[in-house]
Amino acid sequence: MSKQTVLMTAVGSYLPANVVTNDDLSACVDTSDEWIRRRTGITQRHFVAEGETTADLASKAATKALSQAGLVASDIDLIIVATTTPDNTFPSTATKVQHQLGAAGAIAFDIQAVCAGFIYAVDVADAMLRGGRGRRALVIGAESFSKLLDWQDRTTCVLFGDGAGAVVLEIDEKDSDFGIRSSVLHADGAYRDILYFDGGPSSNQNEDNVRLEGKEVFRHAIEKLAAVMDEALTAADMQPQDIDWLVPHQANIRIIDGMQKKMQLPDEKVVRTVDRHANTSAASIPLALATAVDDGRVKNGDVLAMEAIGGGLVWGAALVKYGRPA
């Protein structure tokens, strides 16, 4: 019997209606549009409305993904939500999404790997489906990062946005070359102090703020993302020229450009949404993918290279032949 593979068949996204421009931020923070653009590439971001939660964002993105896949909630066996901004310490945001969607019976839990959360969640869902724990999964990256920001710290508060993206994963019934071709994960807690949140239930019981050492994060990002992408390519027996689209974590235009250069890819093969979405942490890759699918750039059968790094440090990469065989 041949080894089963897992397809990525559909994607959906949701962005809150509230758009906040750099000029809006400069009215309340010591910054400017020029300063933010030059350092990050960001021009605007979306923030949740009062009363809007991470589960709400996740459910709306998941509903769109299900519609695109031609499925209903009861078809789903597994829901994984990657988030650093859950609605509650417990229960998991995924169980709230399960209830909101009406996916009774689906296994549901959260993964917390910050900006690498979506890659981690795809890897876990892939292993679970291939291990017989169901046939279809929703993997969702969803964040309300605006609720974690220190509005006196211009080095962090301008970087982040809110939103959600979801993909549908399904067991490949045709034993094709579509689907998840490889995924590689890494972590190194020795670097936890260069990107972290300075509060938590077991430390000081407070909900405090994001802290970041930007230069150190940038240095590690380029080095580690390039290395893990090489690992993913080797595992899939692929070369950079086999990639149709680089769909990177949308943290900073300099990191995206650095990875493009490392992989020697032309501009037209890189999906960039950081200018419009800012850094949406675990949501950034599926949001970027949804943008490129919706505007017609990413097509059925395209090979996607996805990579991300986040606080921990944690990082990973995945190669996916998107869609389903004819």
Residues serving a catalytic function are 115, 249, 279
**Are the CB atoms for 303 and 243 separated by under 8 Å?**
yes
CA angle 208–158–215, rounded 5-degree value: 85
CA angle 144–62–11, rounded 5-degree value: 105
| Secondary structure E strands in the chain | 6-14, 18-21, 44-47, 78-82, 107-111, 136-144, 162-171, 179-187, 195-197, 210-212, 245-248, 303-310, 314-321
253 alpha-carbon distance from chain centroid: 16
The tokens for 182 are 């490889």
Q: What would the DSSP string read from start to end of 189-221? A: GGGGGGEEES--TTTTS----EEE-HHHHHHHH
